[in-house]
Amino acid sequence: MSKVFVIAQGGGPTAVINQTVAGAALAARERHPGSKVLGARHGVRGIAGADFVDLSALSEADLMRFANTPNSGLGSTRDKPDEAYCGRILDGLQKLAADAFIYIGGNDTSGTLAILDRASAGKIHFIHAPKTIDNDLAENDHTPGFISAALFVANAFLSVDLDFRAMRGVYIGIVMGRHAGFLTASAATWRRDDTDGPHLIYVPEVPFTETRLVEDIRATVERYGRCVVAMSEGVQTADHKPLAESLIPAHLHERDAHGNLQLSGGDLGLALQEAIKDDLPGVRARVDTFGYLPRGFLATISETDRAEAFAIGGFAVEQSEAGSGSVAQQYAEGKTVLKMVPLDAVANKTKTMPADFLTPAGNHLTETGLAYFRRLLPPRPDVWTPFV
> Does residue 181 touch a second copy according to CB under 8 A?
no
DSSP 62-104: HHHHHHTS-S-TT--------HHHHHHHHHHHHHTT-SEEEEE
377-386 long-range contacts (CB < 8 A, ≥24 apart) are: 377/147, 377/150, 377/151, 377/154, 377/186, 377/189, 377/190, 377/302, 378/151, 378/302, 380/158, 380/189, 380/190, 380/192, 381/155, 381/158, 381/190, 383/158, 383/162, 386/162, 386/165, 386/166
Q: Which is nearer to a second copy, 65 or 374 (CB)?
A: 65
Ordered alpha helix ranges (H), the chain: 17-31, 44-48, 60-67, 83-95, 107-120, 146-166, 182-185, 210-224, 243-247, 265-279, 293-296, 303-320, 367-376
Per the CB < 8 A criterion, the answer to whether 14 and 132 are in contact is: yes
Q: Which is nearer to a second copy, 172 or 353 (CB)?
A: 172
- Nearest approach in angstroms of CB 113 to a second copy is 20
- Of 79, 99, 108, 134, the catalytic one is 134
Binding a second copy (rule: CB under 8 A), the pick from 195, 237, 260, 264 is 264
Cis before 354? omega within 30 = no
Q: Which is nearer to a second copy, 130 or 296 (CB)?
A: 296
Stretch that binds a second copy, among 214-222, 271-279, 338-346, 349-357 (CB under 8 A): 271-279
> Does residue 280 touch a second copy according to CB under 8 A?
no
- Nearest approach in angstroms of CB 284 to a second copy is 8
> Does residue 234 touch a second copy according to CB under 8 A?
no
Amino acid at 265: G
Q: What is the CA radius of gyration of the chain?
A: 22
Q: What percent of the chain is helix, strand and coil (3-state, nearest 5)?
A: 45, 15, 40
Q: Which is nearer to a second copy, 193 or 239 (CB)?
A: 193
Give the footprint of a second copy on residues 296-335 (CB under 8 A): 296-300
> Does residue 167 touch a second copy according to CB under 8 A?
yes
Binding a second copy (rule: CB under 8 A), the pick from 83, 222, 239, 382 is 382
Give the footprint of a second copy on residues 61-90 (CB under 8 A): 62, 65-66, 68-78
Stretch that binds a second copy, among 30-38, 200-208, 258-266, 362-370 (CB under 8 A): 258-266
> Does residue 387 touch a second copy according to CB under 8 A?
yes
Residue 134 bears catalytic tag: yes
Give the footprint of a second copy on residues 122-161 (CB under 8 A): 151-152, 155-156, 158-160
Calculate the alpha carbon distances from 157 to 148, 201, 346, 357 in Å.
14, 11, 31, 19
Size of the site for a second copy (CB under 8 A): 68
- The contact mask relative to a second copy for 10-29 (x = CB under 8 A, - = no) is --xx----x-----------
Per the CB < 8 A criterion, the answer to whether 242 and 254 are in contact is: no
Residues in touch with a second copy (CB under 8 A): 9, 12-13, 18, 39, 41-42, 53, 62, 65-66, 68-78, 151-152, 155-156, 158-160, 162-163, 165-167, 171, 251-252, 254, 264-267, 269-270, 273-274, 277, 286-293, 295-300, 381-384, 386-388
Active site residues: 134
